[in-house]
Structure 1
């Protein structure tokens, strides 16, 4: 589900995300596999997510396009392309609807992206992964420094309160 995804981060299944459904219709075309790219096509913010790990028989809701890259396309490279401002502009031009904007599938299938050789795609994919790792580390650093700042503030405040109480 969309609430399990974070823009710009690969999806790795967690047991807490499990949701069981039983359907009378054939869901084969909605089943996800590692290497698939989900594209959130509805809402004010649209974005791609690469599926890195997912259990068997996991399906995506209809708010996502499921992209299964051909062998000549590196999935992470495709994700990177879909995040580029030039592609985002192409997709924004397709968006329709006032209440819940939607990118129509037909228009989505007509966008163009450059397709370099596999080695170049892999280098770009490595850059994407490194960027995401750096962003994650920066977020952790900010969270930890905020935590330490608060602890220091508590100690200083407690010391000031003790001093004031002694006067």
Structure 2
């Protein structure tokens, strides 16, 4: 918290564009708060959900077992930013397709976030699209949170989580 306050005082947090994303991580030693990872043969792991500012500085996060859905971690992540007094300053919040639900929209209203950009889930088509017409999905303004997740994943202590 002190580091975040110092950064805000010296450089300044840019809360005009923020993004939330979750990330799964292994926890070979198990421990409190871990759960079975649904994408890694039910090995123990944990998940974090992180809210970053425009340049990728973490301003709110929540940690839970790997078997927890991103949608369930969304409100605690926003609450963490609210506890730091930063939630009211957020102008636009960017979310990926996994957050495209009525519950998330309601949670945004509950936290008084008006300008929310959610990547829409692709609608199912009856006909197959030609191979040449494949669309690429861009990250938009979510790339800072993706970069922060990647950067944090490369810290050995966070990656291995050997604490019990």
Aligning the two structures, in what range does the TM-score lie when normalised by the shorter sequence?
under 0.3
Bigger strand fraction: 2
Tell which structure's C-alpha radius of gyration is larger.
1
Bigger helix fraction: 1
What TM-score, normalized to structure 1? 0.24
What TM-score, normalized to structure 2? 0.24
Name which structure has the greater RCO, CA cutoff 8 Å, separation 6+: 2
